[in-house]
A and B are shown apart, each in its own frame.
Chain A
């Protein structure tokens, strides 16, 4: 790195990390900024957990069942009718709200903020969204169980963990997909119920999670993969507690036969068939390229330099998708240390970095609800593609107005005795420009000074 150490420290904390807490940049500048980042790579253990001993996805699903049973009993005894939508609303507020708040608090306070950003990238890559009522309470458990443990492991393991998690199986309708020529289909249709293939998860694994559209697969490949995935399901809530709400392979729903996907034959039986397909998808050069581009876009620029993408791709292919090695390559890539901040923060990144700059952590759900008005409702990505990452999306008129209003409410919190100029120096280090430093020094109130800092171009970008 040709950068001076102060600027490198500011970039390490604000671009690779989640934004500087008071004193963080100075502390990183006291050592080697790249080593500070490398030390956060944790192949064993993965990312930090926002909640110690968090509730599992199965517990969350059973919670609903138990409540339903109680209410049914109450109704039988002449009580008021059970309103599942209202109940789900309460659950979402309590459970998903607590999960999201814990995640936001971790981001606002952690010392290993590159590790947390790396995990955020993978949540967004493997999106499960609360826009679907049945998955709303599972987003937190999905992140905790399927994503966090694997973010510095092998991509293939991350893919399988995501694709077999109840949150993903429900979000993309896989849990109820049944092979048309199976005993399960016959049984269900005899009972007057519809049973058949649902290709939603198979399609998104190919298009979004692994090889991408440019791999040139066909509708036929998608349908074949969907057939291979039949049987990947969840234990029903009426089944015994050891399977209820957990991943369950149902042989009776698995379409028998050899599948052909992108020209390759898959003769395996049962659960191994889709696993073999996933292994090949994970190992495909298309996947390496797709993810190298996405990582470079997330960390460095909406239109990243091809040389940066090439380095990430090379490491990915050379290590068989070892995500710790890919992270290391990103840290060592000169292109990632450009003095020009090219990324415009998403609303969540903006809130987290603002809290960190102010030395504040959100204590109540109300404090994160503003994300909805900013266009990034908690846990509710608009589609399986996840949240957009580009400035063209977030640097928009109404979004900027919402940010200006919000920084004033944050600044109005207790900042007694804090000097905005010192906060600015702490938050941006060598990235603070004289223009903004002067405007902050001229602010009429502490609140105005902090608002100028948080709305400054160098704080809005990273």
Chain B
């Protein structure tokens, strides 16, 4: 793999030089015109499949928690495999050790009962609503993050998604980059220019995608080398020797090396490569690489990343098991991202959200079914210090939504609005009409950003 990378890199440069020679726009190479927003970063991590909030931040201090959850309850503070304590009620899943370290510094908070306006319990409809920012799945086919870019004004900020394809949240009128590990645009240095010329005359959508792809490739070289360096310096938190050996090869192996396609456990179109527990270094590398993009001069301010595999209908596990593995992957990604951002972390907020939570009660197959409110995680140096965001409805009898799910106390759009106001000062009118259509009744959550 290392051999393949070193072989491809020079020709990728040639391709970029050739592209520049033809006058293509390399957007990221220019400086940003919006100095204020340029340093504020927002990363949205979407956990697909309906992430179980009651396991992400288990309310082990809630007297009804253990009874409802049975075999999948996370043990209490201080017990073997127990929750990592946040306050007297809430802890974090033991797989979320890096998040817990951030929480100890005031750089992580939980939002324990947040939901989109959708109540259908359909993955697909709920994910659409989470990403399109509307009240219904249909009729709006662009994403709220793209419309937020638009509301900031032309050229004020840029965005990137991790993965080969564009998720709904970033689709829309503003061109957005996407990136995943791979060998770049190949060896023929003339080809990108020839294609750009053809696309410019006959296919605007392909022209836009290619221009964005080429400019992102030029950043990728810097981002991947920075990420490798950052991880190599990260020291005792990990096995440095092992990292040095895997950091170059791992992302490529996960994404498409010969034979790897059939080997790695769950992954998906549009989602990041997702190895199991043995692949945690890859997850860290992915987070660090994304950071490598974002901290470059003129780099993107906004980013979206998807992780899937959270649909735990059966054998969900408790401190160990299926869900624990996914959460460890999430934790490693966040850890790599936080490390990789370096000094820029102080201006960064990461929000981790899912389309819906899961049933409060364990089901017949030691898992949980589609529910309503779930837990969102907020991370970053830009966070205001404080406790939970939104109210905790408790799991007491009569408090469950439809006697089944955690009841929502906060609208997901209020959370997202609060982040956009705090980070970018977006005005209320734009938020209520274009970014989140018909949402004047939903006020931005306050006190999230320092």
Residues of B within 8 A of A460 (CB): 203, 206
Known A-B contacts A369-B261, A369-B262; the reply to A213 vs B164 at CB < 8 A is no
Known A-B contacts A377-B261, A435-B201; the reply to A399 vs B178 at CB < 8 A is yes
Known A-B contacts A133-B265, A380-B266, A395-B205; the reply to A198 vs B363 at CB < 8 A is yes
A388 to B192, CA, bound (A): 27
A105 to chain B, nearest CB (A): 16
Whether B66 is near chain A, meaning CB under 8 Å from some CB there, is no
Residues of B within 8 A of A132 (CB): 266
Residues of A within 8 A of B184 (CB): 401, 405
A368 to chain B, nearest CB (A): 7
A373 to B180, CA, bound (A): 8
Q: Which of A131, A219, A409 contacts B267 (CB 8 A)?
A: A131
Known A-B contacts A89-B263, A375-B165, A405-B183; the reply to A194 vs B364 at CB < 8 A is yes
Residues of B within 8 A of A394 (CB): 165
A400 touches B268 (CB 8 A): no
A219 to B267, CA, bound (A): 29
A408 touches B205 (CB 8 A): no
Q: Which of A92, A384, A408 contacts B263 (CB 8 A)?
A: A92
Residues of B within 8 A of A365 (CB): 258-259, 261-262
A378 to B268, CA, bound (A): 10
A97 to B258, CA, bound (A): 12
B314 touches A96 (CB 8 A): no
A408 to B14, CA, bound (A): 15
Residues of A within 8 A of B192 (CB): 404
A398 touches B256 (CB 8 A): no
A385 touches B123 (CB 8 A): yes
Total A-B pairs in contact (CB under 8 Å)? Answer: 245
Within 8 A of B (CB), among A361-396: 365-366, 368-385, 387-388, 391-396
B4 to chain A, nearest CB (A): 11
B369 touches A400 (CB 8 A): no
Whether A34 is near chain B, meaning CB under 8 Å from some CB there, is no
What is the size category of the interface that chain B forms with chain A?
35 or more
B185 touches A378 (CB 8 A): no
Residues of B within 8 A of A399 (CB): 164-165, 178, 209
A196 to B195, CA, bound (A): 57
Whether A38 is near chain B, meaning CB under 8 Å from some CB there, is no
A372 touches B122 (CB 8 A): no
A372 touches B256 (CB 8 A): yes
Of the listed stretches B37-45, B210-218, B383-391, chain A binds B210-218
Whether A228 is near chain B, meaning CB under 8 Å from some CB there, is no
Whether A30 is near chain B, meaning CB under 8 Å from some CB there, is no
**A345-368 contact mask (Cβ, 8 Å, vs B): 1 or 0:** 000000000000000000001101
The A interface, classified by DSSP as helix, strand, loop or mixed, is helix
Whether B10 is near chain A, meaning CB under 8 Å from some CB there, is no
A93 touches B263 (CB 8 A): yes
Q: Which of B195, B258, B268 contacts A377 (CB 8 A)?
A: B268
Of the listed stretches B51-59, B269-277, B340-348, chain A binds B269-277
Residues of A within 8 A of B261 (CB): 365, 368-372, 377-378
A293 to B265, CA, bound (A): 33
A383 touches B123 (CB 8 A): yes
B194 touches A439 (CB 8 A): yes
A408 touches B187 (CB 8 A): yes
B441 to chain A, nearest CB (A): 25
A435 to B198, CA, bound (A): 7
Whether A161 is near chain B, meaning CB under 8 Å from some CB there, is no
A378 touches B262 (CB 8 A): yes
A424 to chain B, nearest CB (A): 13
Whether B34 is near chain A, meaning CB under 8 Å from some CB there, is no
A-B interface, 5 closest residue pairs, ranked by CB to CB distance from nearest: A196-B364, A373-B256, A382-B268, A375-B164, A369-B261
Chain B residues within CB distance 8 Å of chain A? 48-49, 70-71, 120-125, 141, 163-166, 171, 176-188, 190-192, 194-195, 197-199, 201-203, 205-206, 209-210, 212-214, 216-217, 255-263, 265-271, 273, 276, 308-309, 311, 313-314, 362-367, 369-370, 402
What are 17 contact pairs spanning A and B, CB under 8 A? A93-B263, A131-B265, A198-B365, A203-B370, A372-B256, A376-B269, A382-B48, A383-B48, A383-B123, A397-B209, A397-B213, A398-B177, A399-B164, A401-B214, A405-B186, A443-B194, A447-B188
Q: A369-B261, A380-B268, A383-B268 are in contact. List 11 more A-B contacts (CB 8 A).
A: A100-B262, A173-B313, A203-B121, A372-B267, A382-B271, A385-B124, A398-B180, A399-B165, A405-B182, A457-B202, A460-B206
Chain A residues within CB distance 8 Å of chain B? 85, 89, 92-93, 96-97, 100, 130-133, 172-173, 176-178, 180, 185, 194-200, 203, 207-208, 213, 219, 344, 365-366, 368-385, 387-388, 391-402, 404-409, 433, 435-436, 439, 443-444, 447-448, 451-452, 455-457, 460-461
